Amino acid sequence: MSVASARTGHSNRWVQLVLGIICMASVANLQYGWTLFVLPIQHQWGWSKAEIQVAFSIFILLETWLVPFEGWIVDRIGPRWMVLAGGVGTFLAWYVNSKATSLGMFYLGGAIAGFAGGAVYGTCVGNALKWFPDKRGLCGGLTAAGFGAGAAITIAPIRAMIQSSGYQHTFLFFGILYGVIIVIVSNFIRAPRVEELPDVSNIKVLQSSEDVPPSQAVRSPIFWIMYLMFFLVAAGGLISAAQLAPIAKERGIADATVVIFGLSMPAIVAALTFHNITNGVGRPLNGWISDHIGRANMMAIAFGIEAIALGAFGFFGVTAMSFIVTDGLVFLFWGDIFSLFAATVGDAFGRKFVTVNYGIMYTAKGVASLLVPLGNVLTHATGSWHAVYAVGCGMNVVAALLGFFVLKPVIKARLARPATEPAFAEGEVGRRHAVG
Amino acid sequence: MPTELPVRTRSTQASELELIALVSLLPWCVSLLLACHVPAIAQAFVLMGQFG
């Protein structure tokens, strides 16, 4: 690679990262903004909240489980057309919601939104992993965090417009706005060429020299070790998060007021705000650390701290401040599953099929959701929250131990093995030996 | 002597699509069915949407 092309590639890839984050921010409110519309829809039509929320369940189901399928297409045709389709889908979903006069139409809107959200999410994370083999943790994390940040900066204007102009006008306005932004950006988003990749010497973590297709990746033990870890951490955090509001109520924190930086606010609002921030910050921060100390090492540390934070929240989060701080810590080390596993999949299975390979890994999030009702069962069976947090803590301890004692040696053994077989595709990134 | 055929084959697009269907569409259908019949599962997906 010439110096000139390397320079072009290196400056260009940050533009690609920003474009991906813009797209992520533009689809974020399909997910995080929905809650603002539920009550206005209920007031307008008189349906129950549960009936309306079916649309959101449909969205999450499709958003999660279509990612492998969308990733498979992206790895073949590139990111542009999938992001374009995601942009059109985003507009259509909000448009359908703005015109909906029946639950069925909202469910259709949820289905379209699920396709669009998954298309943009999977594509942009995958593209960041392709452009930044030397900074996969940081850039995968920044892209995933863009999803939350995009929602955070537009929640206030959406809420204001719903109050001033009604939810239907708001759906239409933001549908057009987000759709146009994504469609325009899709014209500039692309996967890297081989000569645009960074120099091998810049990479500090072990990486595969092979591009492993999904059919081979899912036959590999390392894939299922990671899948199990993803599942354990996602489920452990979620079953605990499900108990957040009832615990706050029982401990008398829901009605308490705290003063932070001179601002007085309800403790539960402070907790929700703080954990939304830590949930976002943890993704690039822990991903960035993993770029330097190795993925398995960081997973062991992060999930170990997550276990301690869950235990501390469950057993000691009895005052407003301890509740807010321990809850924030739980999410600081929970959100990083979306950067650490994405980066590790890229390292272990190569660049070419990373969108589909990580898409399959990402479905562990959906499987983890199926375990959430276990928290209610445990609480009812034992009559205490403690069992829920003990289980959540235990799941993270298991994930941390798996990371250090199983994943780390397996990564080293797999990636340090001499290449006796031909690569499945062009192995343009050399084998690297460094921290696991 | 007959030449032994190679036993290792590269994945084809067809086999990969079958795999994608297996890991993508099948669990989606199962989850949808579960969410329709068990309200706690439907709520769990809503919760995941708030954090994930």
Which positions of chain A have pLDDT values less than 70?
A: 1-11, 416-436
Distance CA A82, CA B8 (A): 32
Of residues B6 and A372, the one with the higher pLDDT is A372
Distance from CA of A189 to the nearest CA of B (A): 25
Distance CA A85, CA A179 (A): 10
Q: Could you report the per-residue pLDDT of A272-284, keeping only the tens digit for each?
A: 888 888 999 999 9
Q: Does A283 touch chain B (CB under 8 A)?
A: no
Distance from CA of B5 to the nearest CA of A (A): 17
Question: Residue A220 corresponds to which tokens in the numbers above?
Answer: 């590999």
**So what's the pLDDT on residue B13?**
67
Of A59, A360, A370, the CB nearest to B44: A370
Mean pLDDT score, B23-45: 82
Q: Does A175 touch chain B (CB under 8 A)?
A: no
Q: Answer whether residue B7 shows pLDDT above 70.
A: no
Go through the domains of chain A in sequence order and give each one's CATH number. Answer: 3-200 (1.20.1250.20), 204-416 (1.20.1250.20)
**So what's the pLDDT on residue A297?**
95
Distance CA A352, CA A270 (A): 42
DSSP character string of A157-185 = HHHHHHHHH-HHHHHHHHHHHHHHHHHHH
Q: Does A31 touch chain B (CB under 8 A)?
A: yes
Contact residues, chain B to chain A, C-beta under 8 Å: 10-11, 15-17, 19-20, 23-25, 27-28, 31-32, 34-35, 38-52
Of B17, B24, B48, the CB nearest to A60: B48
Q: Answer whether residue B20 shows pLDDT above 90.
A: no
Q: Could you report the per-residue pLDDT of A83-140, keeping only the tens digit for each?
A: 999 999 999 999 999 999 999 999 999 999 999 999 999 999 999 999 999 999 999 9
CA dihedral angle for residue A329, residue A330, residue A332, residue A333, rounded to 10 degrees: 120
Distance CA A354, CA A219 (A): 15
Distance CA A69, CA A356 (A): 7
Query: Is pTM beyond 0.95 here?
Result: no
**So what's the pLDDT on residue A11?**
58
Q: Is A147 exposed, middle or buried (0-12, 13-18, 19+ CB in 10 A)?
A: buried
